[in-house]
Amino acid sequence: MNEPQILGLHHITAIAGHAQRNYDFYTQTLGLRMVKKTVNFDDPGTYHFYYGDEQGTPGTILTFFPWEGIGQGRTGTGMATEIGYSVPPGSLDFWKDRFTRLHVPHEAAAERFGETFLSFTDPDGLNLALLVPKEADARKGWATGDIKADIATKGFHSTTLTLKKIDPTAQVLTDIFGYRLLAQEGNRYRFITDAVPNAAIIDLLETPEGQPGRNAAGTNHHVAFRVANDTVQMAYREKVLGKGLQITPKIDRDYFFSLYFREPGGVLFEIATDNPGFTVDEPLAELGSHLKLPKQYEGMRSDIEQSLPPLQQY
């Protein structure tokens, strides 16, 4: 039990353009809960939005830096190129109809590794998919007025990393993080951890001729892996250093502690803790409804509020 474990995905962070459009898509079209509205701690003139389930449980959290006017990024190698959400069996027809009605670009349902999925893109062109997992997913989705719990997304199923060569990244997953190769289909290699039942899958897609991605709107910024607490986290810091990779010191992100390192395939990885969670500065019922600032920026609140784009919340 004292063996440190990576508990699957913690969160994924992507870049958006227009803040209101991002909010509308993720809370209204996709039905996620905004669990935190704050600023980029490294750039407080920019929002940082967190979307997840009711509590913002690790493994359900998708976050965005909406940078107005940043321009379109390019999806390519050295980045996460698909965010996969788990949805209940039988829900894909609902989602397909909804995407058609709301003009969300999407593809026909398809199958990989024996699981049916529906690919779609957000208004910035970010690639996402809804997947019906083979194993039942007991997590409870966040229900909204028109997206009931029996069809709501349940949190992450997986993410896909696109790489020129998968081996160095695969070694980080297996030798440091405790994942194992589960299956292969063509150039897609599925890795899984047995430490958790959900948000446990990373697909590595090998594209030797692929062009490197460029980080801007519509692309993923980093992928965060989950650990129980900062004691376990620091054990992983040693493991990463022991493999000859660079890694940051522990950084306080108010809702979790973070370490960052660039894995050899080019993807920015983070190791993030469960503690303290999103209710540290707002009650559960009010998550996401107030602009929360880290204490170093509280004195600049009125300037920050004036510089941020207006956001209408429903």
| Cα 196–Cα 177–Cα 7 angle in degrees, nearest 5 | 25
Closest separation in Å from C-beta 262 to Zn ion: 13
For Zn ion, the closer of residues 13 and 273 by Cβ is 13
Pattern of binders to Zn ion over 115-154, x per CB under 5 A?
Answer: ----------------------------------------
For Zn ion, the closer of residues 62 and 304 by Cβ is 62
Among 166, 224, 287, 293, which residue interacts with Zn ion (rule: CB under 5 A)? 224
Stretch of residues binding Zn ion (CB under 5 A), selected from 7-15, 77-85, 123-131, 168-176: 7-15
Helices (H), 118-203: 167-171
CA-wise closest residue to 82 among 255, 262, 267? 267
Among 6, 8, 12, 13, which residue interacts with Zn ion (rule: CB under 5 A)? 13
For the segment 268-287, give every residue that binds Zn ion (CB under 5 A).
270
Alpha carbons 92 and 87: distance in angstroms, whole number: 8
Residue 293, interface with Zn ion (CB under 5 A)? no
Tokens, residue 100: 């058609």
CB neighbours of residue 144 within 10 Å: 16
Task: Quickly count helices (H) and strands (E) in the chain.
Answer: 6, 16
Stretch of residues binding Zn ion (CB under 5 A), selected from 13-21, 65-73, 78-86, 298-306: 13-21
Residues contacting Zn ion: total by CB under 5 A: 3
How far apart are the two ends of the chain, measured CA to CA in Å? 43
Beta-strand ranges (E) seen in the chain are: 9-16, 33-40, 43-52, 61-66, 79-86, 110-112, 115-121, 127-131, 156-163, 180-185, 188-192, 201-206, 220-227, 251-252, 256-262, 268-276
For the segment 251-270, give every residue that binds Zn ion (CB under 5 A).
270
Stretch of residues binding Zn ion (CB under 5 A), selected from 47-55, 144-152, 185-193, 223-231: 223-231
- 17 DSSP assignment: S
For the segment 37-56, give every residue that binds Zn ion (CB under 5 A).
none
Chain contacts with Zn ion (rule: CB under 5 A): 13, 224, 270
